Amino acid sequence: HVQLVESGGGSVPAGGSLRLICEATIDTASQICMGWFRQSPGKEREGVAAVDTDGSTRYADSAQGRFIVSRDNAEKSSTLLMNSLEPDDTATYYCGTAPSLGDEKWWLLLPEYYNHWGQGTQVTVS
């Protein structure tokens, strides 16, 4: 049974930073990929960043150069550091987990491949 809890959301002015944390209750954190996604009202959930079991990362074009994703297997957590935030980053951010596919990385930002989700944390940039 996997439970994910996100924290760290809030309201910031444009140009500000936030650090989101996802904590997982899971026996084998080292074997799962951890991804961050966001969703705004009326829009589909989209991938933002993901970190696989080997430490490799993937970023959406909108996040590249501004966001940094990391993981701590011992703590069973993932962190998304978001810098230079823009109003378009306003959304509910979700953490998801999925079994790693080893060398296959093309799916890392596709939400349909993730099978566990947190409740989400709101990020508002004004």
Q: How confident is the model at residue 74 (pLDDT cuts 50, 70, 90)?
A: confident
Residue 25 contacts residue 2 (beta carbons within 8 Å): yes
Q: Which among 119, 94, 97 has a CA at the least distance from the CA of 20?
A: 94
Q: How confident is the model at residue 29 (pLDDT cuts 50, 70, 90)?
A: low
- Which residue bears the tokens 């930002």? 109
Q: How confident is the model at residue 30 (pLDDT cuts 50, 70, 90)?
A: low
Using one digit for the tens of pLDDT, what is the confidence trace for 37-71? 999 999 999 999 999 999 999 999 999 999 999 99
Phi, psi torsion values for 78, nearest 5 degrees: -135, 145
- The structure tokens listed for 86 are 């823009």
Find the mean pLDDT for residues 17-41. Answer: 90
Q: Which among 19, 33, 28 has a CA at the least distance from the CA of 111?
A: 33
Instruction: Identify the pLDDT of residue 125.
Output: 98
From residue 15, give the alpha-carbon distance in Å to each of 85, 88, 92, 100: 5, 12, 18, 34
Using one digit for the tens of pLDDT, what is the confidence trace for 1-14? 789 999 999 999 99
- The structure tokens listed for 81 are 């550091």
Find the mean pLDDT for residues 81-91. Answer: 98
Q: To the nearest whole percent, how much of the chain has pLDDT over 90?
A: 89
